[in-house]
Each structure stands twice: as C-alpha cells, then as structure tokens.
Amino acid sequence: MPVALVRIHIKYHNMLRRLTGVDMQALDLPAGCTVQTALEAISRQYGHHLHEMLFSPNGTVATHLVIFHNGQLTRDDPDGLLLSEGDELMLFPSISGG
Amino acid sequence: MAGGPEDTLEIMSNQTVAWVDLTTQDVELSPLETALQGQFLGARGVGASLLSRHIANASDPYAPGNPLVFSVGPFTGTPWPTGARYHVTFHSPLTGAYGYANSSGVFGPALQQAGYSALIIVGRSEKPIYLEVTPDGIFFRPAEHLWGRGTREVHDALEANGSRVACIGPAGESRVRFAAIINDRGRAAARCGGGAVMGSKNLKAIVVRGKAQRDLPAAFIAEARHAFAKVRDHPNVRGLRDLGTVVLVGPKNRSGDLPARNHQSGQVPWVDRVDALAIARYTYRTRGCYSCPIRCSRLTRVERGPYPGELEGPEYETLDALGPLCWVDDPEVILEANRLCNDLGMDTISTGATIAFAMECHEHGLLADAELTLQWGDPGSVLGLIERIARRQGLGDLLAEGTKRAAQQIGGDAHRYAMQVKGMELPRQEPRIAKGFGLGHATSNRGADHLYALPTIDLAGNLDAARHFFPPQIVPELMEADNEAYKPDLVVLSEHYCAVSDALGVCKFSTAETYALYPEDLAIGLSALWGREVNGQDLLTAGERIVNLERLYNVRLGLSRIDDHLPERFTTEALSIHTFERDASGEVVRSASPIHIGRLNDFEAMLDRYYLLRGWDANGIPTSQTVRRLGLQSYVRGFDAPGD
Ligand code: SF4
C-alpha cells in the first residue's frame, strides 16, 4: 500500500540558508511525521554541516535551533509535534550576543 | 510617566545619595531627588545625570575634582529577577569621553540594602584608603597595607562578616587605561578604565555592609515572584543556564562570528578545544548573582599542569579575547590569563584586544620585545604581556595606554590594527557578520561595546520580539542577519532597552539578550514598587533620554559623526566564512571555497538612518527639538544644539 505523504515547507534563515543554499524548500514526508522527522530528513539531504546546526552531539535538537511552526515559536518536544499537509517550519540558528 | 523636573511625587523613601570627598574626608548625605528618578530611573540614568552635572575637568580624567559615581537601580537588591547590578560612571581615561562600567554579583545589592542609591566620590586621598559603607555611615580606613596587592588578596582581607567588596588591583594603581573594578572576587565593572580613576583617587576598595532587605510593597514582591518564575522557565535562558555564555563559541565559529587573529578571521579550525564542552571539563559548579534564576556563571578549576587555579569564568567575551583573538587554543592558558586579569584588575576584552594588536603589529614588523616572541598563540607572550601591562613594565607601559594611543606612538600602519572605537577596544562580535552589533559598536557613547545596544533579535531568531516591537512590513528584512536596511531600527530599540535595564539595575540576560522579560513586564514591577502607573513605553522613553544625555556629554567634548566609525578593516576588507572537515589524517581543513563572504555593504547608510531615527542631525548631534522632547534642556551647556 502506498504511504500517504504530506507536503510541508521549510524556510531557512541566516547560516542555515548558507549551508543549504536555498531560502525555502518543499518536503514530502510520510503522514504522521513530526518536526524531528523533518529535521532528520533535511539533515540527510544536506549532510553533516547542517546536521551539526540542527542537532547536538547527543542527538537531541540543538539548543541553538529556533523553530517556528506555522508562525508560532515551538517550545514543544520536536519529536511529539505532528506535521500536517501545508505546514510551514521556519528555522533560525540562534547565536545572539556575548 | 511624568518625567519633567516638576515631578515631585515621593517615589521611594530610604534612597540616600552620599557625596564623599576623599581629600577632606567629609561625607554629605542627601535624599535622591525624586525628579531624577522619574526622569532617569536609577543606576545608569542617575549616574549620567550626576556625572554631567558634576564633571570638573574633562581634559584630565584623573583630575581630583572629577566624580566617580557608584549607583544602583530601583530593582537592585530586591527580589526582582537578576536585580543584582550596580553601575559606575566616570570620565573615561580610555576614551577621554563618557565612561561607565556595570557589574553584577552581590556588591550592588549590598549597597542598596545599606541604604544608598549613589556614592559620588570626589577628591584624592593623600594616602591609600578604602571606604567602609554601612547603614550607620561611611568611614575612611587606611589601605597602605593593601596597596600593590591583587584583588584576590584584597577580598581575603576585607570580605569578613558578610561584607561585600569592590576593589582595584595593581593595574588600577598604575592607571592602566583599561583597568577594571573587581567585585565579589570574580565579577568586573570592567570597561572604560574605571579602575584607573579609582586608583588616581588612591581609593583601593569599597567595602559595603548591608542590612536586611528594605521594606518593599507586597504588590511589588508578588510581581517580582511572578517575573522570577517567568525568567526561570523561559526557553531562551536555557543555554545560558546549562553552559554559560561560552555556549556561544561553537555556533559563532560556524557562522564566522568568532573573531580570531585580531579580526583577520572570524573562525578557528580548533574550536572544539575552546568551546562550551571543552570548558565544561573544568567546571565544578554553577553560580548565580543576587536573585538570579538564570545562573549563567561557572566556577572552573585547573587541577594540575603549569596553570593550576580556580576562577569564576570564563565568559564568552573573555574566552574569545584571550583565546581565538590572540590565536590561543589552550583552554588552560585562557583560564590562567582570565585569572591574571581579574587579580591584577584589568578589563579582559581590552586586554585581549590590546595583546592581539601587539601581535599583529609584530607580524607586520612594527613591534618587538627582547623577552617575548609576540607570536600569534604564544602563551608566554599573552601571560607575560598581561603582567607587564598591569605594572606598566617594558612594552606593557605602551600597551597600558590602549590600542589607540599605542598605535599613535608606534606610528606607520599600526592604527590599522587597533580594533577600537572612540579609543575603546571592540568586544567580541564580528561586525561583518553581526551587522547590528557592528553599528552598535560604532554608535555606543562609551566606545565600542556589545552591551550598549545588544541587538540580538535578528541573530537569535527572536521573531516574537521582532513582531512585538516593529511594524510587520519590516520584520522579514530585519530578521535577515546580512540585510543592513533595518539594523539601525534594531540598534535604536535595543539601546533604549539596554539603558532601561542598566538604569533599573537588572541583568540584560533577562531582557535585551533573551527577551524573557519585555519593557511592559519591567513596568508592571516598577509601578508596583513606586505605587504609580508606569508603562513599557514610558520606560523606553527614559532609556532614550539616558542615551541622549550620554551623547550630549560627548557632544560637549567635540565628538561627532567621525567618532561613530569602525576600524577600516571592517569596511575595506571582506571576510571569508568556511566549513571545516577532518581529513583522513585527522587534520582539520577548511573548505576550498567559502560558503559566505561577510562584508559591510553601506555603513554610512546605516549611520544616516540611525541618526534620522534618533532625531539627531547628520553629524550625530541631537537636534534642539529632540533635546526639548526628552526634557534635557538643562544639560545643554556650552554648545548650541542644531535647529530642528
Ligand atoms: S544572568 Fe548571569 S550575569 Fe546575569 S545576573 Fe544572572 S548569573 Fe549574573
């Protein structure tokens, strides 16, 4: 049976844009996927430099990744946040001050 | 908020200003003018007003009549989250213009709890002394036995029975132009050379004994508890709590914002030797300042090897200044350099930037030393120069003057390697990558400074804060780190919010760095404390008033647009940003082609817009309309503000 897919959109900012080379991309993922699934998918697509920006060495989502889900800052566990058709993720690498 | 001098509301009782004359050993006490609080809130704002009114001789930062003002804010020493900070305001020996330093810990709260809002210290003691500040009075004590001692020993000697200490080390005594004031052993009111001013007054230390917390309105305590929980639980403070400010090292290196080799580069290939995980190996405890739910401070210890010792730190700024900026990749050398700076009483940012300047001068054949190699990354040179600068020995005597004056004396192209604005060395952001910071370094009235504006919203991906403060149509461009169009808007807003934070006595890690609290949150607390309505916009206007007053001080001294510029490296040289790979032999190599080129495209356009938004003329001078709008007419003496 074919796996149902959902199409989501990801917008990259600042350093993430430089590493991916794109402002935005569409991504087809299996229905029932989470924010974590999406981050793993793009990390596979763009390789370890992006992976290092998205995940900490212990495999959890990096403290420095700021994720907006449909325009709202997400503070939830990325593994528990389900994505639906047409959802948008905005990703910022946070480096702030000093 | 009523801000004019006509405001006579009783704001807080128990707020004393002490005029302390070190020459005559007289102390005069007076209540803090309520109008002053209404206009300038406290701490930094009150300091700006007092320095502007009482400066005796602006051509000599060490003139005995010049005041050195210690001040606290209305939230200092209260249960308000991060109400830990005090402010020191003075005529800066480093910039020859407006100067201040701000620090945390428990010294400021103790000063507030002893009943003082401000100490205005003038004169010069004949012999070294220290001040003992208590609720029962201020006493002059001999300090000849402490003169020449490091700040650690001074704390050991004076920190008895719950006393809190702020003191100088040998660098302040020998008037190193970037000497710091060290309080609570490991915290520094570091910038602009306040330690040298203290040294010029023969004032070795201030010892404060507070009493129990003063009576505070129940409504305020309830609001403070609420705000405390809000900061404690905010996701933006998590990184600071878990790893301290060094959490920034790795991400900054990736994006090219980790200045290295005196800003010749924005990255190091060996970042894993000095990043947060590397420092965590030495960390044995975390610590928070007074009433702080963030607790960003780390206590580190090196057990053995050539540099054993303990330290509160390092902070990110220090780690970069004494590490990558000088190409030092050994964390134990960085910790030792940090310890030395604290003990000798020197600003780690200016110290690191001055050593990096010396190393680059050496690279170009402009500077040499008989004993030190001055080679990039040489631990002996870094540690040796710190000692020599603090005691003004050999080459240290020249470098103790700061990079601007040292470059003038060295001559040739040396000025190209002096990373300073208005005479103060740049903090540890890369203006070609962190462009808002670049503009903020240039416009800051105390010289190059990351905490004057702290424009983090774009770099931190803080879209919520951007939406809160700015019209929706400019938010997308504003959030692009590389887009210069609205960086001035970001800097103006952030400068106001930083001034508010400093004036209230709170740490910016709860405000302009993380936006765990917004101006509206602070206003709720202040309303409850003062018993009258203050809103967030009132606070931002007070912040704007403080920034303008500081600008007016400098304008009176002749500073203008030309002084709001970055070193030419940042506008004439591009910066290549790379990725790094480990090759088959384990060597880290950088990518053949850059993934980004950092450059400032049109700095002058940013400056133009910044002045426009501020209501200043094209030369960076507040117009008479701006001066009137902010109620600053009485501070405009000796020059005519340009017309509207
Ligand atoms: S955030 Fe850090 S520097 Fe600020 S008050 Fe808390 S412990 Fe001190």
- Number of structural domains (chain A) is 1
Q: What is the pLDDT of residue A44?
A: 95
**One domain, residues B196 and B268:** no
B507 alpha carbon – ligand 1 mean position (Å) = 6
Domain end marker among B208, B239, B266: B208
- Range of A69's domain? 5-93
Task: Please give the C-alpha separations between residue B318 and each of A96, B258, B329, in angstroms, as whole numbers.
Answer: 16, 12, 13
Nearest atom within ligand 1 for CA of residue B85: 5
Do A10 and A42 meet the contact criterion of CB atoms below 8 Å apart? yes
**Tens digit of each residue's pLDDT (9 = 90 or more) over B195-225:** 999 999 999 999 999 876 678 999 999 999 9
| pLDDT over threshold 50, residue B2 | no
pLDDT over threshold 80, residue B343: yes
**Residue A24 forms part of a structural domain:** yes
Contacts of B463 in chain A (CB under 8 A): 66, 68, 73, 90, 92
Q: Does the ipTM surpass 0.90?
A: no
Of B255, B480, B579, the CB nearest to A93: B255
* Listed ranges A44-53, B174-183, B242-251; the one with the highest mean pLDDT: B174-183
- Higher-pLDDT residue of B243 and B614 is B614
**B179 and B68 housed in the same domain:** yes
Task: Identify any residues that bridge with B312 across adjacent strands, giving them in sequence order.
Answer: B299
- Min CA distance, A2 vs chain B (Å)? 38
Task: Tell if the CB–CB gap between A13 and B460 is shorter than 8 Å.
Answer: no
B267 and chain A: CB distance < 8 Å anywhere? Answer: no
Q: How much is the pLDDT for B6? A: 33
> pTM of the full predicted structure?
0.95
Question: Is pLDDT at B7 greater than 90 in this prediction?
Answer: no
Tell me which amino acid residue B189 is: A
pLDDT digit string, tens, across residues B133-142: 999 999 999 9
Q: Is residue B147 included in any domain, yes or no?
A: yes
- B475 and B413 within one domain: no
Burial B565-580 (b: 16+ CB within 10 A, else e): bbbebbbeeebbbbbb
What pLDDT digit, counting tens, does each position of B140-176 carry?
Answer: 999 999 999 999 999 999 998 889 999 999 999 999 9
Determine phi and psi for B11, rounding to 5 degrees.
Answer: -90, -55
CB B198 within 8 A of CB B172: yes
Q: Is residue B643 part of a domain?
A: no
For residue B642, pLDDT beyond 90: no
A60: contact with B, CB 8 A cutoff: no
Please judge whether B513 and A96 are an interchain contact, meaning their C-beta atoms are less than 8 angstroms apart. yes
CATH number at residue B150: 3.60.9.10
Q: Specify which residues B141 forms β-bridges with.
A: B130
pLDDT tens sequence across A47-66: 988 998 899 888 888 888 99
- Residue A84: pLDDT above 80? yes
Q: Which residues of B touch A13 (CB under 8 A)?
A: 461, 479-481
Chain B hits for A66, Cβ within 8 Å = 460-463
Residue pLDDT, tens place only, B439-468 = 999 999 999 999 999 999 999 999 999 999
Task: State the nearest Cα–Cα gap between B296 and chain A, in angstroms.
Answer: 12
B183 Cβ closer than 6 Å to some ligand 1 atom: no
Q: What digits encode the pLDDT tens for the residues B527-566?
A: 999 999 999 999 999 999 999 999 999 999 999 999 999 9
Would you call B296 an interface residue with chain A, using a CB distance cutoff of 8 Å? no
Ligand 1 neighbourhood includes B296 CB (under 6 angstroms): yes
- Asked whether residue B615 falls in the same domain as residue B562, the answer is yes
Check A18 against B316: CB less than 8 A apart.
no
Interval B51-64: pLDDT, tens:
999 999 999 999 99
| CATH number of the domain bearing residue B549 | 1.10.599.10
A47 in a structural domain: yes
Residue-averaged pLDDT of chain B: 95
B201 with B64, same domain?
A: yes
In a domain, B642, yes or no: no
Q: Is residue A85 part of a domain?
A: yes
Does the Cβ of B82 fall within 6 Å of ligand 1? yes
Is it the case that residue B641 has pLDDT exceeding 70? no
Tens-digit pLDDT profile for residues B91-105? 999 999 999 999 999
How far does residue B296's CA lie from ligand 1's centre (Å)? 5
pLDDT band, residue A13 (cuts 50/70/90)? very high
Please judge whether B255 and A96 are an interchain contact, meaning their C-beta atoms are less than 8 angstroms apart: no
pLDDT at residue B3 greater than cutoff 50: no
| One domain, residues B296 and B250 | yes
Q: Is A66 on the interface with B (CB under 8 A)?
A: yes
- At residue B449, the 3 state secondary structure works out as coil
Residue B216 lies in a domain: no
B251–A64: do the CB atoms touch at under 8 Å? Answer: yes
Is A94:B459 a contact under the CB 8 Å cutoff? yes
Q: What is the pLDDT of residue B29?
A: 95
Question: In which domain, by residue range, is B271 found?
Answer: 225-425
pLDDT band for position B187 (cuts 50, 70, 90): very high
* Same-domain check for residues B194 and B237: no
**CB environment A4-23: b (16+ within 10 A), e (fewer):** eebebebbbbbbbbbbbeee
Q: Is the CB of B461 less than 8 angstroms away from the CB of A93? A: yes
Record: contact A98-B481, CB cut-off 8 A: no
Which of residues B405, B425, B445 is at a domain's end?
B425
Q: Is the CB of residue B295 below 6 angstroms from any atom belonging to ligand 1?
A: yes
Whether residues B450 and A98 touch (CB distance < 8 A) is answered with yes
Structurally, how many domains does chain B consist of? 3
pLDDT at B643: 61
What is the pLDDT averaged over residues B570-594?
93
Contacts of B252 in chain A (CB under 8 A): 95
Question: In this predicted structure, what is the pLDDT of residue B640?
Answer: 59
CATH number of the domain encompassing residue B402: 1.10.569.10
Asked whether residue B217 is assigned to any structural domain, the reply reads: no
Ligand 1 nearest atom to the CA of residue B290, by list position: 5
B495 interfaces chain A, CB cutoff of 8 Å: no
What CATH number should be reported for the domain holding residue A49?
A: 3.10.20.30
Buried residues in B394-415 as b, exposed as e (16+ CB within 10 A)? bbbebbbbbbbbbbeebeeebb
Asked whether residue A49 is assigned to any structural domain, the reply reads yes
Which of B381, B385, B275, B318 minimizes the C-alpha distance to B267? B275
Count the neighbouring beta carbons within 10 Å of the beta carbon of residue B182.
Answer: 34
Identify the bridge partners of residue A6 per DSSP, sorted by sequence position: A29
Residue A98 in domain: no
Residues of A whose CB is below 8 A from B349 = none
